[in-house]
Each structure stands twice: as structure tokens, then as C-alpha cells.
Structure 1
Amino acid sequence: MPALRFHSIAKASASAIIVTLITAGCATTHPSPPTKKNTPPQTPVAQAKPLTAKQGLHAEPIHIKPSAPKRYVVKKGDTLWAIAKRYLHSPWNWPEIWYDNPHIKNPHWIYPGDILSLYYVNGKPRVTITGGPSITGLPTVVLKPSVTYQPLPKNQHPIPIQTITPFLVYPRVVPVKMFKHAPHIVAGADSRILYQSGNQVYVRGLPANSHTAWYSVYRSKGALKDPKTGKIIGHEVAYLGNIHITHHGKISTGILKHTREEITAGDRLLPLVQKHYDYTFMPRAPQNQIHAQIISLFNSISMVGQYQVVVIDSGTKSGLQRGDVLAVDKPGRRITDHFATRKESRQVKLPNQHIGLIMVFRTFKRISYALVMSATRPIMVDDLVHNP
């Protein structure tokens, strides 16, 4: 669907880390076909991974748009989401019409110049590659250092990668047990109550035999509750900085590093994240029925819009995965019908209103982060989330 490695086919400047949320996974490696001089290498549009008919919940058949092209040549700047929209009203159903060509070395990759053909098998639509670089092979060339400047396409919605990076690198919502049992700061080396980079502090709760030297420090911003049961399912937390543990023991000693805010007793330690995150997402419909609600908003007090982040009360326990696309509804109001007949109830619930789409980009057991892909009205806490 900045799909989300946020790449488009268009070549981007190495200094401009701006991505398009719509592309669904650009390759980091290319096939190795015969050598051809002075021909620039192509970058794939995306990796289209096929699914079986019921790997997603689709009670209705897939409908191809009447305007869908029988033959389409992939162009630079295309995205997987844009290509899917040429064929489908629901682009997240693309994996169900994609067909691998077994004669292609890398059948999942789509490159500029590839020819996509639409045909039907037993009445079911299929799209596959019938010509272009994926079949004829991509040239290999020797690259020389250079700088290329290219304007972003005006018909696409560029998104800074930092829109979701903080949510992938630093947790913003922590499960109850993890936060409850996390080690905490008990005091500093002197009598002050606020600490910053360079200050020595003491930590309680770290394993005495641990060899882990680096942690991140977080502070709770409030508990998140299940809207149905009222039970706490997580803590919204703020990242404060890092700490280097210099001595492990019943009471450990550490030095604060790179603090963003002043740290105090009671702030919690969680393992420092030091891994590469995959920014590649394949937008699709969920494989299970999802009925959830929005329980928290980020960087907003009461409402959010396109390309902002929300938290929903559903996660891996319900079968949610990265890339799942969900619809958002505004719950219908309950009103009194003053004109109801004697046989009719005076209390009426109005229909829910569809107001947008979100895409899940990080999952936990009972909660998930999702990015607002589109919205016709402001999205708020308690809005309903379900299969598109």
C-alpha cells in the first residue's frame, strides 16, 4: 500500500530518506543476468507474495474493475498500491489475484518495464508477468559515485520515514507484566531528585548475574484499558534516554546517557533495542475476523488524521499481522425518536459511519500500532475497527 519499505520505483536521493507508504517491499538485491554495458540497473517495485483463496476472510468474490487494463507496462514511480488500484477496488486483495511465473528467476519481484497481463482461469482473475526485465533478465553494470536530484511525484503522498521509526525502535506501549516487573531507578549518587546525562544512579531489580550493560529508560504516561472489560492491558510509556550499567548487584550502578528528559526515581528500565527493522510491508486484508476499538492516540489530545498513529485493543492473540488493513467506523449515536409509534422503541441507535482505513505496522499480544492511511473525518478514541 511512505507500502511500508516505503520505496517507489523512482530512484531517490541517498540524502532524502523520504518514502511512500504505498510501496509494498522493494528488493535489496537484484537478479544476476548477462552483463550489458552502460545500462543503469532497475529497482523493483515490490515483492508480490501470493496467497491462497482463504488465507484472508473474503466471503465475496474478488471483483476486477471494468477499467482494469488487460496489459500494463510497469513505469518508474509506480507503487504496488497504485498498480493494485488499477485492477481492484480493494487494493489489499492484490495477493489473491497475483500469479507466480515459475519460469522467472525471482517471480515475486516486479520491475519497471515488466508487462503485466490480466486473464481468467475458471472464471477467477489472475495477473502475471508476461514480458519485460523479469523475463529477459536485468543488466549488471559497474556503478560510479554520483548525486542525482529528482523531485517527488506530485500525485503521490510522500511520508518521512520518521513517521513510524520511533514506534519501531522505541516501544510506546508496553504489556502490563513487562512494565510491572521491569527494573527501576531507586536513587542517584547525590541528594538531587532529577538526573540527566552523565549522572550516576542506582537501579534495583536487575539480575545480579546479568551481562547486559545497556538499557533504555521509560516512564509511564498512563494505563491503557480494555474498553469492554476495563482491565488494564498495557502502559503507554515515554522514552527518556539510555543507561550504561557499570556494576551489577542487588543494587546496580549505572551512568545515564543521551537523556531526552530529566529522569527520576521510579522510572523503568527496558532492554536497549539494537536491531535492524524491516520497513517493508505487504498490505492485505486480515486473515481472521477482527472486532476492535481505538484505545489511544499519539501526538494528539482528542483526534488524529491521515498518517498519524493509533493504538487498537487487538494484537497477535487475535491473529493480527504487520500489513493488515482495517476499516474504521464512527459509532452511531443513540437518540430519542419523538415521532415513534406505540409499537416502535423511542430509543434508536443510528448506523455506524465508515470514516477511514488504518494499516497495522507493529503488533503485541493484545495491542497493535496502526497508521491512518485515509480518513474522511477525525479519528478518535473508541472508534470501531474491523475487517475492510
Structure 2
Amino acid sequence: MRKLALSLFLTGFLALSSHADELKMQANAPDRYVVVKGDTLWDISGKFLKDPWKWPQIWGMNKAEIKNPHWIYPGDVIVLDRSSGTPRLSLYKGESSRTVRLSPKVRVEDATEQGIPAIPASSINAFLSQPFVMDENALNDAPRILGAQEDRMILGAGDQVYATNGRDASVSNWKILRPGKALKDPETGAVLGYEVMYLGEAHTELAGDPQRLRITRSSEEIQNGDRLLPASDTYSFRYVPHAPERDINGQVISAYGGVAEIGQYGTVVLNRGARDGLDEGAVLAVYKKGNIIDKVQLPDARSGLVMVYRVFDKVSYALVMQTNRSVNLLDVVRNP
């Protein structure tokens, strides 16, 4: 069994509306491409398409097929067929030397295989378990750090600390969190949620009340009173770029890390979420708001693309995939 795999998980929905059917090919699109280690879905798509997120269309996939996973490995050959007038891709398996069309199927992956995600894992891996949006009082009842045996205000990785007991005695791995700023809708002023700061991780060494923990990782200074939540989230990186099924008109309301200008592979927070029709993998175009000159409103200027990778009810986190200028707070996001 192959040790290294490029795993393209096609699990999103793609609305194949009439205005989205046109595929714009790269002028130098190759007739064939050999998949190599380190490739991503977005990278491979960009070799053939000017709009990489339209990958499922060039494979001629329907919604049922997009929901099922398909796997591509280093050594496989992707072939571009232009003969019918509508460009289509097929896959020539390097291992079995046969051409196959993408179709629904199930494949069991060996746990020792290292799947490579559809977008750069290094760009979002740290953020998947870190940014949180919660209601204002969501952490009130969570276990809290009481302090160390020594009288110290600042704690970090390697320190032994005590904390109040958790409700579930089976939990031994924790995320260390601290309530953060309110996320407000710039359009209505309504509070959409509260961003929770990720500070690190801890492991219970001795259960009880108080319980004794060891801080195993710290990305910020940890203090008495910081809260604990079970570190039980798991993520599959099953993203495929697709257009939202509903019309989206939102804004960038925050940037992870508090930076003012966000470049490629930076994380932004949007004031639209699941209730608005966004899901993981949804692609949105970013626009700079047009200036007003002599009382004339100039049109908005498109500046890049973002892809949603984590969705909450009222907000979502998105990765800046392409940009010809920096993304800033209050930039507009719309359907691509």
C-alpha cells in the first residue's frame, strides 16, 4: 500500500448554474500532468483552470458524485481531453495503468498513510483547533486554572498547575482558553459572538478536585483563571472549493492575530455563517469598497478569493487563497 497519498476529498456541494458553467482554461494548460508529492487540489486545478475552485466542473461531476471521496496519489497522471469541445479531465492510475472517471466510491485508507489535504495543511492546521466563537457566558461553567504550587502569575509549557475538576472524569486532554473580544456585525451593530483566545493545551496527571495538570503546549502566556475545554475536536481536511448555494453579501470583521492587512494564506473572520448558507469549502470573492469622489460612488474593486474552512452559526473563518492586494477589515465578500 502506498505510504504517501494525495487525498482529494470531494465532499462539498457545487451549484452548477448556467452562469457558472463556463470553464476558462489556462492558456498554457497541459495535456497531461503527473501528480507529485506536495500537490494540492487548488494547485492542480490552477494548472488547468483560471478559476481553480471550479474543479468538479471540469471532471463533469454531479452533486451526488461531489459528496463522495475520490483519491489521487503521486504518480497518477491527469489527462485533459479537449476533443468534445467541452474540456474534461480523466485520471490515469500510475499503479494500475488504467484510465478511470471520477465516480462515487468508498476507499478504506490505511492509518499509516499520510494524506495530503486539498489546500496547504500548514496554513490552517494550527487554526482548526484554535479559533473559537462562543456565546458570552459559554465558558462560565468550564473548569478553570487555579494556579501553580509556586506563587507565579505567568504559566507556560512544562509547568505543573492545578485546576477545578471537569464534569467528565474521562477527559484528560484539555485546551486552555480565555474569553476574547466581541465580534460585531458592522451592518447592524449586533454581537455575533465572542472570540475565544487559544492559549495552549494541558494533560491531567492526577484526577480530583482540584485536578493536577501539566501544560503541554503554550502559544500565549497562561494565567490563573484561564478556562479549560476538552481537546476532542478532530478534523478531516475534507475541503473542496465550491460556490455557495445562496447569495452571500458580507464583510471581513476580524483577522486572526489582530493584523490590519492580511495576505495569502492568512485567516479572516466573516460576518456570515451557517445560517446564511455558508459551509466548509465555500469560495467567496473579496472586494475593496469603492471610494466616493465628487459625490460619485466608484465601483468596488475585486482583490482576491477566500475559502471558508470553519463555520459557526453567525460567523465563519476563511483562508485567503488568492489576492492581488492585501485584505483589510470591512472588505466586502460576495459570491465569486
TM-score under structure 1 length normalisation: 0.65
1:244 is the counterpart of 2:179? no
Q: Which structure's residues are more often strand, by fraction?
A: 2
**Cα displacement (A) at 1:88:** 3.5
Give the corresponding residue for 1:265.
Answer: 224
1:357 is the counterpart of 2:305? yes
**Cα displacement (A) at 1:117:** 1.5
Give the corresponding residue for 2:106.
Answer: none
Secondary structure of the 1:238 match is strand
Mark the CA change 1:185 to 1:59 in structure 2 (over 3 Å): closer, same or farther. Answer: same
- Counterpart of 2:304, as a letter, is G
Secondary structure of the 1:221 match is strand
Give the corresponding residue for 1:325.
Answer: 283
- Counterpart of 2:195, as a letter, is H
**Cα displacement (A) at 1:98:** 0.9
- Counterpart of 1:301, as a letter, is V
Give the corresponding residue for 2:88.
Answer: 127
Whole-Å Cα distance in 2 between the matches of residues 303 and 225 of structure 1?
Answer: 19
**Native 8 Å contact 2:161 2:214 kept in 1:** yes
Give the counterpart of 1:253 among 211, 216, 221.
211
1:316 is the counterpart of 2:235? no
Give the corresponding residue for 2:189.
Answer: 230
Give the corresponding residue for 1:153.
Answer: none
- Counterpart of 2:270, as a letter, is I
- Counterpart of 2:49, as a letter, is L
**Cα displacement (A) at 1:305:** 1.1
Whole-Å Cα distance in 2 between the matches of residues 302 and 287 of structure 1?
Answer: 30
**Native 8 Å contact 1:51 1:96 kept in 2:** no
Mark the CA change 1:99 to 1:247 in structure 2 (over 3 Å): closer, same or farther. Answer: same
Give the corresponding residue for 1:173.
Answer: 132
Whole-Å Cα distance in 2 between the matches of residues 81 and 63 of structure 1?
Answer: 15
Mark the CA change 1:266 to 1:226 in structure 2 (over 3 Å): closer, same or farther. Answer: farther
Whole-Å Cα distance in 1 between the matches of residues 145 and 153 of structure 2?
Answer: 12
Question: RMSD in angstroms over aligned alpha carbons?
Answer: 3.8
Whole-Å Cα distance in 2 between the matches of residues 98 and 283 of structure 1?
Answer: 14
Secondary structure of the 1:92 match is helix
Q: Which consecutive residues of structure 2, in runs of 5 or more, have no partner in the other structure?
A: 100-118
Larger radius of gyration: 1
**Native 8 Å contact 1:294 1:310 kept in 2:** yes
- Counterpart of 1:382, as a letter, is L
Give the corresponding residue for 2:81.
Answer: 117
Whole-Å Cα distance in 1 between the matches of residues 194 and 136 of structure 2?
Answer: 8
What is the count of residue pairs matched by the alignment? 304
Mark the CA change 1:293 to 1:245 in structure 2 (over 3 Å): closer, same or farther. Answer: farther
**Cα displacement (A) at 1:357:** 1.1
Secondary structure of the 2:275 match is helix
**Cα displacement (A) at 1:370:** 1.6
**Native 8 Å contact 2:274 2:312 kept in 1:** yes
**Cα displacement (A) at 1:44:** 6.7
Give the corresponding residue for 1:342.
Answer: none
Aligned-pair identity (%): 27
Give the corresponding residue for 1:91.
Answer: 52
Q: Which consecutive residues of structure 1, in runs of 5 or more, have no partner in the other structure?
A: 1-28, 31-40, 139-157, 338-346
Mark the CA change 1:119 to 1:93 in structure 2 (over 3 Å): closer, same or farther. Answer: farther
**Native 8 Å contact 1:117 1:130 kept in 2:** no
**Cα displacement (A) at 1:243:** 4.7
**Native 8 Å contact 2:59 2:90 kept in 1:** no
Mark the CA change 1:274 to 1:287 in structure 2 (over 3 Å): closer, same or farther. Answer: closer
TM-score under structure 2 length normalisation: 0.73
